[in-house]
Amino acid sequence: MLDTIGVETIDDLFVEIPDSLKFKGELNLPSALNEYQLYLKMALLARQNLDATKADWYLGAGLYDRYIPASVAAVISRGEFLTSYTPYQPELSQGYLQTIYEFQSMIAELYGMDVANASMYDGSTSMAEAAIMASGVTGRHKIVISEAVHPHYRQVLDTYCWANGLHVEVIRHNNGATTDFSTVDDQAACVIVGYPNFFGVIEDLDAARTAARKAGALFIVAADPTAMALLKPPGEFDADIVVGEGQPLGVAMGYGGPLVGLFACKQEYVRRIPGRIVGRTHDAQGRSGFVMTLRTREQDIRREKATSNICTNEALMALATTVYMIALGKNGLQSVATSTVRNTQYAREKLSSAGGKIKFPGNVFGEFVLELPKPADEVQRRLIDQNIMAGLPLGPYYKGLDHCLLVAVTEVRTKDQIDRYAAALAEVLK
């Protein structure tokens, strides 16, 4: 093969990589195992994991322990879906094209937007793609984002923007909310806020939209899809682009993946949208069918000149969210959101009386920041010993919040579980 392509050694294929970055020596790999020995080793490693079946789960921060109807696994485990990929041949892919069409339709309705695309990789890359799209629309190179947007989302945004020559400017949060939009000027391509934000606080989207419109920037919202069953959707605040993470809609947490990104926008930006859109049409005999309507195919060959570099989608996970939303329906999704709010308020009350203090005021959905008299990571470790995953210590993400826990409460938490958490917390804080 090397002779055929005209090189002497395999190293000639990697001359672009600096020698200082290449690994020298032998990899420290264990000896080979047979199939049964490997199974035992992996089972031993798996038993070291702590998951939501072994503990009362209050860790959220983007991935949530929500109930998944049995119908979701029953559908997505069928062979024709498990082996799915991009449906290039519509005559052979009508079933899958229809599920993507239904997925797009429901996400657009949930967010109150004109159009949604087929699934993105995850919420963070969806947001980064939205920022790049806003730069392309406006011709500007400054991305303004709230500090109260998920820290991991902002890290991904930094990476995407660095690669595209864009500058990211962060608006500091004020007591858990975004209130100062003074840095949004005529150089800004977009303004990005969370809804609710990383702290669970429900942001004032009117103020964010006003700042964006005054500067001629696009208004982007990173929204929790479950919360949209109760809150006024971003589309009603005149959002230009709405992104989010679809995991709460029927996708298991899975130790961090796979996930499914959501992306919706106004009709006027449809030809700039990353990824692809499946549409409904009819043939010469008038029979309805589904086809790939818009797809930025040039991304595969134009590299850095393409509007987006996303070349696939999370179709199986999108199918899971589609089955979930169909199974619950409008009333079911509202019930999930209502139960989440009820449980969250009860947890706030009980954990406050156990020695914690609510750090940020204002209305929240599903999450809140609890300030403790001891370091949050210490409290978390001690409660894990009692099979309680207490939440996310915020010290590594926000300066000055070392004593704060981000506590997530979903519809599956019970009164007894919350009472047990409060009792254990009170004992740890003594």
Residue 246 has pLDDT above 60, yes or no: yes
Neighbours of 137 (CB within 10 A): 18
pLDDT tens-digit map of 153-169: 999 999 999 989 999 99
What mean pLDDT value characterizes the chain? 93
**pLDDT, average across residues 401-424:** 98
**pLDDT, average across residues 18-28:** 89
Residue 300 has pLDDT above 60, yes or no: no
Confidence of residue 276 (pLDDT cuts 50, 70, 90): confident
**pLDDT, average across residues 340-358:** 97
CA atoms within 13 A on the CB side of 165: 4
State whether CATH 3.40.50.720 applies to domain 70-324. Answer: no
pLDDT at 297: 54
CATH, range 56-66+330-428: 3.90.1150.10
Question: 242, 205 in Cβ contact below 8 A?
Answer: no
Question: 132, 265 in Cβ contact below 8 A?
Answer: no
CA angle 103, 224, 72 (to 5 degrees): 45
**pLDDT, average across residues 303-332:** 85
| Farthest-apart Cα atoms in the chain, separation | 76
Residue 355 carries which DSSP code? T
Q: Give the residue with greater pLDDT, 107 vs 96.
A: 107
Cα(316)–Cα(81) distance, integer angstroms: 7
Q: Minimal CA–CA distance to 235: which of 219, 254, 250?
A: 219
Confidence of residue 291 (pLDDT cuts 50, 70, 90): confident
Distance of CA 232 to the CA centre of its chain: 20
**pLDDT, average across residues 369-395:** 97
- 210-222 as b/e: b if 16+ CB within 10 A: bbbeebebbbbbb
CATH 3.90.1150.10 domain locations along the chain: 56-66+330-428
Share of the chain above pLDDT 90, in %: 75
Confidence of residue 336 (pLDDT cuts 50, 70, 90): very high
Question: 114, 108 in Cβ contact below 8 A?
Answer: yes
Residue 152 has pLDDT above 90, yes or no: yes
Would you state the structure tokens that stand for residue 394, as one six-digit string?
């915020």
Ordered DSSP codes for 56-117 = EE---TT-------HHHHHHHTSHHHHT------GGG-HHHHHHHHHHHHHHHHHHT-SEE-
Would you state the structure tokens that stand for residue 137, as one six-digit string?
């629309």
Residue 40 has pLDDT above 60, yes or no: yes
Cα(417)–Cα(57) distance, integer angstroms: 9
- CA distance to 22, 23, 25, 44, per residue, from 28 (Å): 15, 12, 9, 21
pLDDT at 2: 86
Cα(71)–Cα(290) distance, integer angstroms: 24
CATH 3.40.640.10 domain locations along the chain: 70-324
